[in-house]
Amino acid sequence: MDNSWAKPVPVNEPLLAGNERKYLNECLDTGWISSEGPFIRQFEERFSGRIGRTNGIAVSNGSAALDVAVAALGLGKGDEVILPAFTIISCAAAVVRAGATPVLVDSDPDTWNMNAADVEKKITARTRAIMVVHIYGLPVDMAPIMEIANRRRLKVIEDAAEMHGQAYRGKPCGSFGELSIFSFYANKHITTGEGGMIVTDDQQLAERCRSLRNLCFIPEKRFVHEELGWNFRMTNMQAALGLAQLEQLDEFVQKKRRMGTLYTERLKDIRGIQLPKRATDYAENIYWVYGIVLHDEIPFDAGEAMKRLSARRIGSRPFFFPMHEQPVFRKMGLFQDETYPVAERLARRGFYIPSGLALTDEQMNQVADVVGEILR
Ligand SMILES: *Cc1c(COP(=O)(O)O)cnc(C)c1O
């Protein structure tokens, strides 16, 4: 069937149908448009409160949150940080920029997440921290990771950028370890356009994060600096959006789960593809994105599949490209001769289809039809 006439389906479109406009107008009406303004504190308190953390530090994006988290823990030269090969560059970049050494682990082929056994094998006398990254909708199996971290006295940074509203055995994602981070980029479960947050229960770490976010200004000696920070402040307008989005988080998670179920129902009989796991014994998928991995019996890779989708006006995105194959890190001499077969396979055979919250059932049905046709 030729449906090139059909309307394009974007890979992501956010849903902004709550109090976003009302709160944004308050910013404009009151003139509070910078990082001074009442919405920041409110958003920090409500967001961190929902996760059960005592402190929230809003920043300009999730990558910045990772930089601040690594710096706040004092990680640096000679320190090793274990993290997955299959993730966004921001994770390894934060470690490298701090002067510390990233040490990689592979992913589980079913959940696409790192696992504790691989982490334990990579621990050396120099290991100081584990950066846990939850991938695409299912959390990492946290209990064994936390057990290792406690036993080996390692810090844990939890990257929960894709996990708003998700829980591990009933405990919110973002409540594990010393510090957790979130992103509010436009394709995350709740968005501020660009934005991020660090959450922690440790008062001292929270104060360090607040200082690092704000150029390490010293309140009583303005413009005198003992340390270098960044301007990673969030604006009151972003926080206004975030607050309105947070009010809808339960609905959003419910909607994503419904979307995931619908896609799976429509795609489960197509031969030669792996679909996201609906659940593990510790969590139910929240489908941040709906990923598809091509089995070997499909005679082409994800690049070709995405090209065919694009020709039919269906948006898609490749999976993450593994850290050990990143040219920028190879040029630095990192990860030479290392191989992580699952991460490599996911990068070559994996892609995700339109997954945004504004997607309609009709659009999902259209996407599912086209996926079936291009793989036949
Ligand atoms: C989106 C994301 C980030 C980065 O967040 P930005 O706000 O885009 O900088 C970090 N980690 C993971 C796992 C992400 O998905």
Distance from C-alpha of 194 to C-alpha of 185, rounded to nearest angstrom: 5
State residue 7's pLDDT score: 84
Q: Tell the CATH superfamily of the 249-375 domain.
A: Aspartate Aminotransferase, domain 1 (3.90.1150.10)
* Residue entry with tokens 């206004």: 240
Exposed / middle / buried, residue 7 (Cβ in 10 Å: 0-12, 13-18, 19+)? exposed
Q: What is the pLDDT of residue 107?
A: 98
Q: Does the domain made of 20-246 have the CATH classification 1.10.287.3610?
A: no
Specify the residue with its C-alpha closest to ligand 1, atom 7: 62
For the Cβ of 173 lying below 6 angstroms from any atom of ligand 1, the answer is no
First to last CA, the chain: 13
Please report the pLDDT score of residue 3 as a whole number: 53
Give pLDDT tens digits along the chain (376 positions).
Answer: 555 567 899 999 999 999 999 999 999 999 999 999 999 999 999 999 999 999 999 999 999 999 999 999 999 999 999 999 999 999 999 999 999 999 999 999 999 999 999 999 999 999 999 999 999 999 999 999 999 999 999 999 999 999 999 999 999 999 999 999 999 999 999 999 999 999 999 999 999 999 999 999 999 999 999 999 999 999 999 999 999 999 999 999 999 999 999 999 999 999 999 999 999 999 999 999 999 999 999 999 999 999 999 999 999 999 999 999 999 999 999 999 999 999 999 999 999 999 999 999 999 999 999 999 999 8
Q: How far is CA 156 from the centre of its chain?
A: 16
Give the pLDDT confidence score for residue 6 in this predicted structure.
72
Specify the amino acid at residue 139: P
**Ligand 1 site, residue 161, Cβ cutoff 6 A:** yes
Dig out the tokens for 209 from the structure: 């994060």
**3-class DSSP assignment, residue 348:** helix
Report the helix count and the strand count for the chain, using DSSP H and E: 13, 13
- Rounded Cα distance, 139 and 107, in Å: 12
Contact 291, 112 (CB under 8 A): yes
Rounded Cα distance between 38 and 32, Å, is: 8
Query: Domain segments of the chain: what residues?
Result: 20-246, 249-375
Read off the tokens for 215: 């150029």
Kindly give the pairing relationship between strand 273-274 and strand 290-294. antiparallel
CA of 144 to the centre of ligand 1 (A): 24
Q: Is 209 exposed, middle or buried (0-12, 13-18, 19+ CB in 10 A)?
A: buried
Element at 182 (helix H, strand E)? strand 179-183
Q: What is the pTM of this model?
A: 0.97
Ligand 1: residue of 183, 191, 232 to mutate (most ligand atoms within 8 A of CB) is 183
